Structure 1
Amino acid sequence: MRLLILTRRLDCLGENDVPISNAFRRLGWEVVFSEITAIGADDYRYFTRGVLVPATGEPYHLGSAAQGTRGVYFLDECQLVWVNSGAPPSVARDVWQLLWLASQHTTFVNSIEGSLFLETKHALGHVVPKENRASSYASNDFSLLWKRYRQSPELWWVAKPPNSYCGQNVFLLPPNGPNVRTILQCLTGNADAQSGFGGLAERESIVTQNRSSYGPLGFKAEYAILQQFIPEVERGEKRVIVACGQAVAWHGRKGSPDDHRSNIAQGAKPIPVDLHSGEVELAESIGRKLMKYGINFVGLDMAYPYIVELNLINPGGLYDAKLASGIDRSDLVADLIISRFKKCGYS
């Protein structure tokens, strides 16, 4: 049996590449590591250039380089494909298209369409019950976000891009904050700044062009999310890994006292925590709902009773949960994934 892991770099394996590959190899599987950008097609048969690692041999460690037989491997010769990286913007459209076409003949742990359309902050309202998510507003029009912020002057808000990762460009907006207007303008692409050139008629023309027919400057507006701040976050977020609808690993995140973000990538530390029955039930209910869209491995950011974010492509948590608790849950994840797809029948 063979698992293909599509990752970002072969010379530095990441926090899911390592435990997942080690677990599958312990179960007797070969593993092919390949960079996400190495996908291609030979007369419409989809392949990748990568490294084949036998089931036997030394386990990998975080940051290891993939060692094995380099070659060209066809996706339809693999029983499972696990996408552990997004593609660079310059080739993302082609990569996702090729992967979706390949997935019509090969089994993916997380479906391409589910990963592509649900790996966004826009998707919370689709899979998370209303009582378990914060109120939010999405737009690429600065004036609409600014109006919504000013309608509730007593509230704290969080502003962020809908498709960023690792806490990038996430801002905490206090009531009557002096920089809120600037932050919202920045997150929406400073489209209104184009109106600062020329006379009134010209400025109005440029803004109209930017928002409709793109005009000579191209379309400048960008989407942003304005989300009501959840006080429960201050008591600590938890990352919960759900595999095939079962909560399998979790840890808390202790952030820096000078940063409102609790992302590990922003300096937060994983800490051991317990999950109570309500947290387990919520995580697993969302996991089961995501399975309907072909998502079988997800990392949930939870500040109970709220779900803050869904993480579908390479969600951190499995490795950090081991650091926090000393317990490696990767064998359980591999067992669950293999059992699920055996029932479904490998394509």
Structure 2
Amino acid sequence: MRVVSILFLIHEKPEDPRSNLQLFTEAAIKANIQVAWGIIDSLELSGRAVLVRGSILTNSASLASYEASSNLSLSDFETIWVLSLGHRSTFLDKIQLLHLVPQSKLINNCNALLHLNSKYALASLPESIDQPSRVASSDPASIKHTLDRPGTWIFKPPAESHGRSVYKIQSGDPNSNAIIEHEMPSAGHSFRLLESWLPNIEHGEKRVLMADDSIVGCYERQGKLDHRTNLAAGATPSLALLSADEQILCHAVAKYSMNGGARFIGIDLVYPYVVEINVVNPGGLGTLLALGEPISGTTVLNALGLISP
């Protein structure tokens, strides 16, 4: 159903003209949808109303001069799209405030933001969907005990992005203890994940963008500097096609995610394994554009039924 107004909740004004926010905003304005940006860290409760500091954007030219100069009520908008969670220290407060809003308004609702936006969430995927072996703990001894098993592992934080603090370690590696002690200086204070290394990732990891049950686009990321396939860590992207089996897998993940309240996601895939589901502002649209794919913000908004009648 076509919408008449949409509020994007953001951390700050984007600098990249190919950011999701910029592309979605321009597409919505072009479709005569009323658009506003609100700073998610300014969410507040006034009586029964949830408010945010922001501003309504009247045309594409107003994006450059945006200032969060007004109090906007979330109840005034038909659709709300969370494109940033803001500061981590107030995450739970913001989720609780957003939970006061009818969840049908949110592209990715509070259940998705709280539960699916996590590397732990893969453990609840149907057993028919393969994933790497995984151990999570805040106890360094538990992580070290797992490393007694033969094999190669990825050691990483459960809630970071852009490839930060992601290590490839092996059983018996003399550096393992030093890495674990550096990342987990004391028990109970920080969680870390051990994930089985997928050798096929050396041939590339695919990022698939899904809007509801529609495959929006796909590209492959090839690690160049080290084991990481994150673009921010130096990996290089290239356009890729999905096999019939990969498409079936992506539709199964999309169905699972939609049931959990997420309508726009990015799937990281090393077939037959699902490595991660990205729920908050998954990157890829700008990369596909840069690679020459005939795609736009309108493509996503159409797939979500925000423009099409």
TM-score with structure 2 setting the length: 0.91
Q: Which has more radius of gyration?
A: 1
Paired position in structure 2 for 1:19: 23
The counterpart of 2:280, out of the listed 305, 309, 313, is 313
Q: 1:11 to 1:323 in 2, by over 3 A?
A: closer
The amino acid across from 1:179 in the alignment is: N
Runs of 4+ in structure 1 deviating by more than 6 angstroms, as ranges, are none
Where in structure 2 are the equivalents of 1:100-179 lying within 5 Å? 100-103=99-102, 107-127=105-125, 129=127, 132-152=130-150, 155-179=151-175
d(CA) in 2 for partners of 1:131, 1:338: 28
For residues 58-88 of structure 1, give each alpha carbon's deviation from its aligned partner in whole angstroms, at most 9, with x where no partner exists: 5x9xxx6453794221111101000001121
Structure 2 CA distance, aligned partners of 1:224 and 1:68? 38
Cα shift at 1:236: 0.1
Deviation string, structure 1 residues 132-185 (Cα, Å, up to 9, x no partner):
201111111111221111122xx1111111111111111101242111122223
**Distance verdict in 2 for CA 1:65–1:121, change over 3 Å:** same
Q: Which amino acid aligns with 1:146?
A: K
The alpha-carbon deviation at position 340 of structure 1 amounts to: 10
What is the root-mean-square deviation of aligned Cα atoms in Å?
Answer: 2.3
Deviations 1:223-276 (A, max 9, x none): 1111110011111011100111221111111322x3111111212232111111
Question: Partners in 2 of 1:44 and 1:267 — Cα distance?
Answer: 47
Highest RCO, 1 vs 2 (Cα 8 Å, sep ≥ 6): 2
Q: How big is each residue's C-alpha offset from its partner over 1:12-32, in whole Å with a ceiling of 9 and x where there is no partner? A: 367210111122222210110
Q: Which residue of 1 aligns with 2:66?
A: 67
Mapped partners of 2:172, 2:195: distance in 1: 16
Residue 51 to residue 270, structure 1, CA distance change in 2 (3 Å): farther
Q: Is the 8 A contact 2:156 2:165 kept in 1?
A: yes
Q: Helix, strand or coil for the counterpart of 2:216? A: strand
In the alignment, the residues of structure 1 paired with residue 174 and residue 153 of structure 2 have an alpha-carbon distance, to the nearest angstrom, of 14
For 1:122, the aligned partner's letter is Y
- Match in the other structure for 1:93: 92
Q: Structure 1: which 5+ runs fail to align?
A: 193-219, 343-347
d(CA) in 1 for partners of 2:308, 2:71: 25
Q: Which amino acid aligns with 1:291?
A: M
Query: How many residues of Structure 1 are paired with residues of Structure 2 in the alignment?
Result: 305
Whole-Å Cα distance in 2 between the matches of residues 175 and 151 of structure 1?
7
TM-score, normalising length: structure 1: 0.82
Partner residue, 1:229: 197
Matched, 1:4 2:11: no
In structure 2, what is the equivalent of residue 190 of structure 1? 185
Between the aligned partners of 2:202 and 2:33, the Cα distance in structure 1 is: 43
Q: Is the 8 A contact 1:11 1:66 kept in 2?
A: no
Residue 298 in structure 1 maps to residue 265 in structure 2 = yes
Contact 1:3 1:80 in 2 (8 A): yes
